[in-house]
Amino acid sequence: MIGGMEKKTELISLRDAAARLGVCRATVHNWTRLGLLVPAEAAPFRFAPETVAAFLRSRRDGEGAKLTRRANKSRSVARLNRGRFRKAVGCFRSLHLALESAMYAAVLKRLCREGEAEFREEKGEFVFLRKSVAAVMAGWCSRLKCPLDERMLRFLRTLPEMEDGESLGELYQALSSIGRRAVGGTYYTPTALVDESLSFGCGATRYLDPCCGSGHYLVRASAVLGLGAEQIYGIDCDPIAVELARINVLLAFPGEEFTPRIFRGNALTGRILRAEYGTFDFVATNPPWGGAASEGEESFSLFIHQALRFLKAGGRMSFLLPEAVLNIAAHAPLRRKLLESCRIDVIELLGRRFSGVFTPVVRIDAVRTPAPAEHHITIRHDSGREERAQHLVTERADCAIETGVTAQERAVVEKIFRCGGITLSGNADWALGIVTGDNARLLTFVPEPGAEPILRGGDVLPGCLREPRCFLRPGRLQQSAPLRFYHMVPKLVYRFIARRPVCAVDRGGRLTLNSANVLIPRLPSWPIELVARYLNSRLIGFLYVKRFGTCKILRRDLETLPFPSLSEAEAEELLRADDAAWEAELSRRFGLTEAEAQLIAHSLP
């Protein structure tokens, strides 16, 4: 500090921080937004070198490796930038070209390659050889704030050959702000996933993609379903994407004169389109995930509700969705709507199919007709296939659709729950971790006077805690439980994001960030150390994964877990037991056979 002012010249930019950490800028931005990496300045982000160095050291441990695997989008973006579009991206940045102008120039390049346009040197203009193409390009050009100029031509010359129908969409994603596209939940969909989804609509005569982007689904619909141009409809709220989709569909039908039925607008309203064009017998898309939504629902949920309105009776729909839609409580109303109004034919677990995105993907194929009583949903995954009676899923209060659970595993889960016992419901105090509301201002990775150590989810290991590497500065917080819960000694701290419970006893009375929550158990004859050991046990891990199947550890789920009744002497004996004896005693108390105990042992990594 000099004269009370910070030496800003010593700070490094977001670009430099990304280079030092070996990730893309979007990843650094997301880590900053989540409070994992704290900037010294927020507009624009600038970082203290020592903060970045400390964070780099933390990434070398298990938590850091997990962060890189989960959050790093550089694989998808850098591959594009290092590949055929690298030179064009550099030119785009150096010319400070508007995104829409750059994409207009890219379309000109593509049209020339396909023989749809020619550049007349003497007049310095492009001539379009098909009236339909000329009409679309003229309409688009009229919206551009600047006409075709030398900068656009320079950019056009740096572009590689735009040799396939996916090149425009890939370039658009490469030039767009990845941060903005992540917020919108939009990512490029691999062709194989598109084709698999479209194949469910075999025999369709009117197809709609209600969030069509640059038209990948629309183009493939002509090939996979054999549909004509007049049978394919698309809607998108992104004006550039709409223009790209129109051109891509025109190129899918060479030599034909038609106006692509692709419209700019919000398909979530849908009133004009339905009134003018009626209903459809097939709707398939990969809707935005986690984008802006209303009424407490995510955007993909609203798109499904609207798809059901677009579909005629007996119409088919196929959606690519985050796997959490199958069991997360927040999506229970959507599941009930689908189960009660549709016959769900197939649910296919696809794993992590979007580069740089941690969330697993699931495809749901359904028909808009009530399911007969005997109907079974087919669930496909890497290990094979399962069948679920749809009426049994509908009868569940949460309509959760269990996947990856065998009949034997389900029987063991039910057997354990039937044994009963005491639960944490009414026998514990709970506190959510602190939400600062301004991590950039209130969190630091460097100890400071007045800053208090704060535990994060990554600091919680089974049965032990790492020393906190993050510190909370004094200031107004967005959300906090009463401080007495954090300062309670002893207390349990558990990870919020995990597939199975991971917890440890805290005897330091430390604060927790919102990735680590607080549990203060009051179970009769259960010392807190034994509660921690029980929640970390293989048996409870099995129960949680097979019953709830989420990546979040929720209070309402923890409160259902059965704890065997113990005497104080039995509790003391269990505390002294080694791991093998401990797991064997848990199996005995729930009446499990040796085969059932082995099933639990082999079901978790």
DSSP assignment of 426-483, as one string?
TSEEEEPPBB-S-HHHHEESS--TT-EEEE-GGGEETTEEPPP-EEEPSS--SB---H
| pLDDT bracket for residue 29 (50, 70, 90) | low
Exposed/middle/buried for 556, CB within 10 Å: 0-12, 13-18, 19+?
Answer: exposed
pLDDT at position 21 over 80 = no
- In the chain, the amino acid numbered 55 is F
pLDDT at 351: 83
**Mean pLDDT across the stretch 437-454?**
93
Q: In sequence order, which residues have a C-beta less than 8 Å from that of residue 14 and are 6 or more positions away?
A: 25, 28, 29, 44, 45, 46, 47
Strand order in the sheet with 503-506: 428-431, 516-521, 491-495, 503-506
Nearest CA-CA partner of 363 in 346, 376, 385: 346
Instruction: Please state which of the ranges 8-17, 117-126, 153-162 shows the lowest mean pLDDT.
Output: 8-17
Q: Give the Cα separation of 129 and 126 in Å (integer).
A: 10
> Domain 8-72 falls in which CATH fold?
Multidrug-efflux Transporter Regulator; Chain: A; Domain 2 (1.10.1660)
Q: Give the Cα separation of 560 and 422 in Å (integer).
A: 9
More confident position, 111 or 59: 111
Nearest CA-CA partner of 318 in 282, 290, 350: 282
**Mean pLDDT across the stretch 251-269?**
89
Instruction: Please state which of the ranges 97-111, 135-149, 469-483, 487-501 shows the lowest mean pLDDT.
Output: 135-149
Q: For residue 44, is the peptide bond before it cis, meaning its omega torsion is within 30 degrees of 0?
A: yes
pLDDT at position 384 over 60 = yes
- 331-336 long-range contacts (CB < 8 A, ≥24 apart) are 331/298, 331/301, 332/398, 332/399, 332/400, 333/297, 334/297, 334/301, 334/304, 334/305, 335/398, 335/399, 335/400, 335/401, 336/394, 336/399
pLDDT at 26: 58
pLDDT at 367: 97
**pTM of the full structure:** 0.68
| pLDDT bracket for residue 386 (50, 70, 90) | confident
More confident position, 250 or 386: 250
| pLDDT bracket for residue 563 (50, 70, 90) | very high
Q: Give the Cα separation of 20 and 17 in Å (integer).
A: 5
C-alpha distances out from residue 145 to 142, 370, 375, 436, 564, Å: 8, 51, 56, 42, 71
**Mean pLDDT across the stretch 500-525?**
96
Tokens of 140: 């688009």
**Mean pLDDT across the stretch 324-335?**
86
**Mean pLDDT across the stretch 512-516?**
96
Please say whether the beta carbons of 427 and 523 come within 8 A. yes
DSSP label at residue 365: E
Mean pLDDT across the chain? 85
pLDDT at position 412 over 70 = yes
pLDDT at 291: 56
**Mean pLDDT across the stretch 67-85?**
43
Is 116 in a helix, a strand, or coil?
coil
Strands 261-264 and 464-465: unpaired
| pLDDT bracket for residue 358 (50, 70, 90) | low
Q: What phi and psi, each to the nearest 5 degrees, are found at residue 272? A: -65, -45
pLDDT at 271: 63
Nearest CA-CA partner of 432 in 491, 497, 485, 510: 485
**Mean pLDDT across the stretch 461-470?**
95
Please state the length of the chain: 605
| Alpha helices for 256-388 (secondary structure H) | 271-277, 299-310, 332-341
Whose structure tokens read 């808009």?
368
Highest mean pLDDT: which of 258-262, 328-332, 358-362, 394-398?
A: 258-262
Whose structure tokens read 């079901």?
603
pLDDT at 80: 41
pLDDT at position 65 over 50 = no
pLDDT at position 515 over 80 = yes
pLDDT at 79: 44
pLDDT at position 66 over 90 = no
pLDDT at position 603 over 50 = yes
Q: Give the Cα separation of 469 and 113 in Å (integer).
A: 55
Is 578 in a helix, a strand, or coil?
coil
DSSP label at residue 137: H
pLDDT at position 179 over 90 = no
Whose structure tokens read 């550039």?
240
pLDDT at 69: 35
Strand order in the sheet with 376-381: 261-264, 232-236, 207-209, 280-285, 311-322, 361-367, 343-351, 376-381, 384-389
Instruction: Please state which of the ranges 130-134, 286-290, 311-315, 388-392 shows the lowest mean pLDDT.
Output: 286-290
**Mean pLDDT across the stretch 244-268?**
92
- In the chain, the amino acid numbered 105 is A
Is 168 in a helix, a strand, or coil?
helix
- As a whole-number percent, the residues of the chain with pLDDT over 90 amount to 55
- As a whole-number percent, the residues of the chain with pLDDT over 70 amount to 84
Highest mean pLDDT: which of 68-72, 516-520, 553-557?
A: 516-520
Buried b (16+ CB within 10 A) or exposed e, 104-121: bbbbbbbbbbbebbeeee
Domain ranges of the chain: 8-72, 85-176, 186-404, 428-603
List the beta bridge partners of residue 563: 422
Helix, strand and coil content of the chain, in percent to the nearest 5, comes to 45, 20, 35
pLDDT at 431: 96
| Kind and range of the H or E run holding 558 | helix 555-558
pLDDT at position 181 over 60 = no
**Mean pLDDT across the stretch 437-441?**
90
| pLDDT bracket for residue 36 (50, 70, 90) | low
Q: How many CA atoms lie within 13 A of 35 on its CB side?
A: 23
Give 186-404's CATH code, choosing from 3.40.190.10, 3.40.50.150, 2.170.130.10, 3.40.50.300.
3.40.50.150
**Mean pLDDT across the stretch 47-74?**
54
| pLDDT bracket for residue 352 (50, 70, 90) | confident
Q: Give the Cα separation of 381 and 99 in Å (integer).
A: 40
pLDDT digits (tens, 9 = 90+) for 203-221: 999 999 999 989 999 999 9
**Mean pLDDT across the stretch 549-554?**
84
pLDDT at position 463 over 50 = yes
Tokens of 202: 């075999």
Please say whether the beta carbons of 562 and 416 come within 8 A. yes
**Mean pLDDT across the stretch 259-276?**
77
Is 400 in a helix, a strand, or coil?
coil
Domain 428-603 has CATH 3.90.220.10: yes
Q: Give the Cα separation of 431 and 308 in Å (integer).
A: 40
Q: Give the Cα separation of 244 and 246 in Å (integer).
A: 5
| pLDDT bracket for residue 74 (50, 70, 90) | very low
**Mean pLDDT across the stretch 378-386?**
86
More confident position, 262 or 188: 262
